[in-house]
Amino acid sequence: MTMTEEQTMLWDTADRYLRDNADFNQRRDQIAEGVYSQPQKWQAFAEMGWLAMPFPESMDGLNFGLREIAILAELCGQYLVTEPLIDTLAVASTVLMHSDQAGALVPDVISGELIAIAAIDEPTAESRLSPSSTLSKTESGWHLQGRKYWISAGASATHFVVLADSCNGLAWVLVAKNAEGLSCETFPTHDGKGGANCHFDLAIDDNQILLMGDAASDALSAFRECAMTLSSAETLGAAQAALDTTVDYTKQREQFGQPLASFQALQHRMANMLIQTETTRSLVYAACDAADRDSPDRARFARAAKVKSAAVGRKVTQEAIQLHGGIATTDEYIVGHFFKRVTALETWVCSKGEALQEFMALDNNKIAPAGPA
Amino acid sequence: MNASSPLPTDSDAFRVAVRDFLSEALTPELIRAGERTTSVFSDFEAGRQWQSILHQRGWGAPDWPLEYGGTGWDIQQRYIFQEECRQANAPTPVMMGIQMLGPMLMHFGTPSQKERFLPGIISGENVWCQGYSEPGSGSDLASLKTTADHDGDDFVVNGTKIWTSMAHYSDWIFCLVRTDKAVKPQAGISFLLIDMATPGITVKPFTSLDGEVEQCQVFFEDVRVPTANLLGEENQGWTVAKSLLEFERGGQHFTIDLKKQLSKMQHMMSSETCRVTADPTFAYRVAETQIDVMALEQTELRIKGSLTAGDNPGALSSLVKVSGTELGQRCAELLIEAAGQSAIPWQSEVLAPSYNGSTAAASESVTTMAEYINSRATTIYGGTAEIQRSIIAKHVLGL
């Protein structure tokens, strides 16, 4: 609803590509082999311009807004894409792009060679906003010391964008996955993205420090806000797909001599799933538009979308399993995988609870005059 | 500002122009009627007076097409207008004529019917009520039994209608009646426009849980109605009725009132009588409700943005109706918790717009209990929440 012609075209092209190339059974086989990002597919993403979307034309980007990137995120949810698309775009558009090294790094992101993944979660830190990993000054340069755990899509990364504490405040540091002094354990994850736990104990050059101090803090805020909205969009896509699958299934499946879909108790639950999914959709699109217009309400809408999509993603995929019955509890059936992905998205970068707390603390969290976001 | 001066198209300037008009046109008594509104209807006389003022300004029916006296405003402007009216505590007139019957007359009416009825509706001179439900026909509306039989140039109507809001004030009633008993229920229904002053009509009011009278039962005993008062073709009344219900459900901007409830909440939470400020779980529930209201607001805008004036929102109106009414109930519950003991006094007289004295309830919670009580009706009237879910299942999900 209410997409521009350009957005509709983007949706159609991406939808067609993923329908043909993101097969669910193939996905299962690849994950079993430990392949979370298929090089061929990643190259195709690059060729279709998906990896260039957020960057300005001066960097040979396509200068698309969040609304367009969210279209890809929504389809990633629908097709259970395991490649680190939103992961890369979120950190590249908010951290890499604003660093002095952008001129060198962004072209490699666009070509697909540099797969940079944000590393923010730590095993012991009280909050992901205040890392205990440290970047300290040495005689010859810098030293990065610390642990980053449970990095979603970390298995597919070529580089990590590490959030650390320094003498000048926060810092974002770029570290190649194969760097000496970085020990990295990768592992399968419940959502199929493949994760990593990393220990950093290595020397850092000036040119690896992307941002420091206020600029790093600002980038962290921007990254979190971008991640909130994109995770909401992906959750929306997964919830919609879970609902569609459920509607199809209950029309086919017969019990007591009639299709499950003919029972009013089930019809009303599916109606609730639709109501929840559609109202979430409105909020996700509004959050994108608020960001793209740089509205004063952008922080508020991003957090609202995160809270709403997390709650609805959970409820809708749980209901999808319940309405299917036993089949949905198996690994071979798709519905349970929507459920697992939205569960992982719920906590990615910013949890529902964190978003709600931040929503309540916002200055402009008054009852705003009506109108588009 | 006089009626002929053009309104600014810029939305901020438009808002200012509307606000200026409201601050000039609303008397203290009209505002009090708005403030003390506890359901969808304000004090009847205040509402009628306000409709007449709006009509004189040329704003009697902003949602109508220009040719019938509408304003030609776009969706955004109509939203702003409604929002400003609510924020300024303008009373809400009886809207069944403007919101429901008007669009049906435009769509199904003959030229002479339009000419005869539309002007009285928009001026507020003729108040209309809706004769749909019957004692034996609630959710199963098509089973209705009130009959209209041909006799010369008239129909003769016999039967009864129930939950007829504001019938005791109404000049006219639009009614679903059975004109063919031999066919399947939906195929034998017609849509009749009946003058409430016709001999044979009696009205019995009900006192609602909040002590006020809005609902009535209307009895028809050999009531003669000219066949010229048939809207649409004979036995095509079900088509008109369904179309009207979609307007009824989709015609409102639920979020305007929801946001007003939330503002009240913030006001209440900062007041001395508030008992919930020490309860952190309460603040979380308010925030989550606020987020759901934001989601519904964006949904309303998304749906309305795809419609032009006079269009019918279809089955999506059911989605908005369910969400809007259930969220309204959640807000009403939060408000009653925030008001605590201060909401228990029951003094009907303080709801009158002319009442100027003190109140036993805390001033910010004078209407809280009545609003909570009346909110329970919102998921029953206009098609229950269960009926709406069945419509969504059938028409949106294809189940």
Q: Which of B218, B241, B264 is the last residue of a domain?
A: B241
Q: Which of A196, A212, A228 is the last residue of a domain?
A: A212
Amino acid in position A235: T
Q: Which of B187, B211, B241 is the last residue of a domain?
A: B241
| A204/A235 same-domain check | no
Least confident of A160-164, A180-184, A368-372, B322-326: A368-372
| Confidence (pLDDT) at A113 | 97
Answer for the pair A53, A61: CB distance below 8 angstroms, yes or no: yes
Q: Which of A57, A83, A114 is the last residue of a domain?
A: A114
How far apart, in whole angstroms, are the C-alpha atoms of residue A156 and residue A82?
Answer: 9
Q: Which of B93, B119, B143 is the last residue of a domain?
A: B93
Answer for the pair A119, A161: CB distance below 8 angstroms, yes or no: yes
Overall number of domains in chain B: 3
Cα–Cα distance list, A50 to A45, A70, A77, A159 (Å): 5, 11, 16, 19
| B277/B341 same-domain check | yes
Render pLDDT for A185-237 as a digit per residue (tens, 0 to 9). 999 999 999 999 999 999 999 999 999 999 999 999 999 999 999 999 999 99
Residue B329: which of B261, B270, B390 has the closest Cα?
A: B261
Instruction: Tell me if B295 and A283 make a contact (CB, 8 A cut-off).
Output: yes
Tell me the nearest-neighbour CA distance from B263 into chain A, angstroms: 6
| Confidence (pLDDT) at B6 | 55
In the stretch 298-317 of chain A, residues with CB closer than 8 A to chain B read 301, 304, 307-308, 311
Instruction: Tell me if A250 and B79 make a contact (CB, 8 A cut-off).
Output: no
| B213/B319 same-domain check | no
Render pLDDT for A284-319 as a digit per residue (tens, 0 to 9). 999 999 999 999 999 999 999 999 999 999 999 999
Cβ–Cβ contact A362 with B under 8 A: no
Return the DSSP state at A105. Answer: H
Structure tokens at A226: 């971008």
Amino acid in position B12: D
Render pLDDT for B27-62 as a digit per residue (tens, 0 to 9). 999 999 999 999 989 999 999 999 999 999 999 999
DSSP reduced 3-state for A103: helix
| Confidence (pLDDT) at B280 | 81
| Confidence (pLDDT) at A366 | 57
| A10/A110 same-domain check | yes
Structure tokens at A146: 């610390």
Q: Which of A62, A79, A114 is the last residue of a domain?
A: A114
Task: Read off the pLDDT of each residue in B102-118 and give the average, rounded to a whole number.
Answer: 96
Render pLDDT for B320-378 as a digit per residue (tens, 0 to 9). 999 999 999 999 999 999 988 888 999 888 888 889 889 998 888 889 999 999 999 99
Answer for the pair B233, B62: CB distance below 8 angstroms, yes or no: no
Task: Read off the pLDDT of each residue in A270-274 and give the average, rounded to a whole number.
Answer: 98
DSSP alpha helices (H): ranges in chain A?
5-21, 24-32, 39-47, 66-79, 85-94, 102-111, 214-252, 264-292, 298-324, 335-347, 352-361
| Confidence (pLDDT) at B393 | 95
Tell me the nearest-neighbour CA distance from B332 into chain A, angstroms: 16
Render pLDDT for A209-220 as a digit per residue (tens, 0 to 9). 999 999 999 999
Task: Read off the pLDDT of each residue in A353-363 and give the average, rounded to a whole number.
Answer: 92
Domain with residue B228: its CATH number is 2.40.110.10
Cβ–Cβ contact B395 with A under 8 A: no
Task: Share the mean pLDDT of chain A.
Answer: 95
**B248 among known catalytic residues:** yes
Instruction: Tell me if A371 and B396 make a contact (CB, 8 A cut-off).
Output: no
Judged against a pLDDT cut of 80, whether residue A371 lies above it is answered with: no
In this structure, is residue B348 part of a structural domain? yes
Structure tokens at A137: 């000054």
Overall number of domains in chain A: 3
| Confidence (pLDDT) at B10 | 78
At what angle are helices B75-87 and B11-25 packed, to 10 degrees?
Answer: 40
Cβ–Cβ contact B301 with A under 8 A: yes
pLDDT band at A137 (very low <50, low <70, confident <90, very high): very high
How far apart, in whole angstroms, are the C-alpha atoms of residue A369 and residue A330?
Answer: 47
| Confidence (pLDDT) at B311 | 58
Judged against a pLDDT cut of 70, whether residue B140 lies above it is answered with: yes
Burial class of residue A295 in the structure, from the number of CB atoms within 10 Å of its CB (0-12 exposed, 13-18 middle, 19+ buried): middle
Render pLDDT for A37-79 as a digit per residue (tens, 0 to 9). 999 999 999 999 999 999 999 999 999 999 999 999 999 999 9
Instruction: Tell me if A268 and B299 make a contact (CB, 8 A cut-off).
Output: no
| A319/A229 same-domain check | yes
| A134/A235 same-domain check | no
CA gyration radius for chain A? 21
In this structure, is residue B98 part of a structural domain? no
Contacts of A361 (CB under 8 A, 6+ apart): none
| A187/A242 same-domain check | no
Instruction: Count residue pairs from A and B with Cβ separation < 8 A.
Output: 117
In the stretch 237-256 of chain A, residues with CB closer than 8 A to chain B read 247, 250-251
In this structure, is residue B120 part of a structural domain? no
Contacts of A77 (CB under 8 A, 6+ apart): A233, A234, A235, A236, A237, A238, A239, A240, A241, A338, A341, A342
Among B29, B134, B248, B297, the active-site one is B248
Task: Read off the pLDDT of each residue in B64-87 and give the average, rounded to a whole number.
Answer: 91
| Confidence (pLDDT) at B314 | 73
In this structure, is residue A34 part of a structural domain? yes
Judged against a pLDDT cut of 90, whether residue B273 lies above it is answered with: no
What is the dihedral sign for C-alpha B125, B310, B166, B239? positive
| B257/B237 same-domain check | no
DSSP reduced 3-state for A167: coil
pLDDT band at B142 (very low <50, low <70, confident <90, very high): very high
Among residues of chain A, what percentage have pLDDT more than 90?
Answer: 95
Structure tokens at A12: 């159609």
In this structure, is residue B100 part of a structural domain? no
Judged against a pLDDT cut of 60, whether residue A140 lies above it is answered with: yes
| Confidence (pLDDT) at A142 | 97
Domain that holds residue A357: 216-361
| Confidence (pLDDT) at B5 | 46
Among residues of chain B, what percentage have pLDDT more than 90?
Answer: 74
Residue A53: which of A39, A38, A43, A67 has the closest Cα?
A: A67
Task: Share the mean pLDDT of chain B.
Answer: 91
How far apart, in whole angstroms, are the C-alpha atoms of residue A322 and residue B163?
Answer: 38
DSSP-assigned letters across all residues of A200-219: EEEEE-GGGEEEETHHHHHH
Instruction: Tell me if A360 and B83 make a contact (CB, 8 A cut-off).
Output: no
User: At B297, phi and psi to the nearest 5?
Assistant: -60, -45
In this structure, is residue B49 part of a structural domain? yes
| A230/A164 same-domain check | no
| Confidence (pLDDT) at A368 | 45
Among residues of chain A, what percentage have pLDDT more than 70?
Answer: 97
Cα–Cα distance list, A73 to A84, A228, A284, B166, B326 (Å): 11, 12, 11, 50, 30
Structure tokens at A30: 């690849």
Judged against a pLDDT cut of 50, whether residue B2 lies above it is answered with: no
Cβ–Cβ contact B84 with A under 8 A: no
Domain that holds residue B137: 128-241
Judged against a pLDDT cut of 50, whether residue A369 lies above it is answered with: no
Least confident of A122-126, B11-15, B370-374: A122-126
Instruction: Tell me if B295 and A267 make a contact (CB, 8 A cut-off).
Output: no
| A22/A71 same-domain check | yes
| A121/A161 same-domain check | yes
Judged against a pLDDT cut of 90, whether residue B79 lies above it is answered with: no
In this structure, is residue B62 part of a structural domain? yes
| Confidence (pLDDT) at A293 | 96
